[in-house]
Amino acid sequence: MIFLKSIFAGLLAVLIAAIVLPMGVCVYLTWTAHPGNNEAIGFDPISMVRSSPYLWIIPVLVFGLGFYLEYTRLKARQRSSARN
Residues in Cβ contact with 66 at an 8 Å cutoff, skipping those fewer than 6 apart: 9, 10, 11, 12, 13, 14
Q: What pTM was computed for the model?
A: 0.74
Residue 22's domain comprises: 2-32+47-83
Question: What pLDDT does 84 receive?
Answer: 67
Percent of the chain with pLDDT over 90: 42
Between the alpha carbon of residue 11 and those of residues 43, 53, 69, the distances in Å are 25, 20, 12
The pLDDT tens digits of the residues spanning 33-56 come to: 777 777 777 777 778 778 777 888
In a domain, 42, yes or no: no
Residues 75, 64: Cα–Cα separation, whole Å: 16
Computed on alpha carbons and rounded to an integer, the radius of gyration of the chain in Å comes to: 19
User: Which of the two residues, 71 and 82, has the higher pLDDT score?
Assistant: 71
Q: With 90 as the cut, is the pLDDT of residue 7 above it? A: yes
Do the domain assignments include residue 38? no
Domain membership of residue 19 (yes or no) is: yes
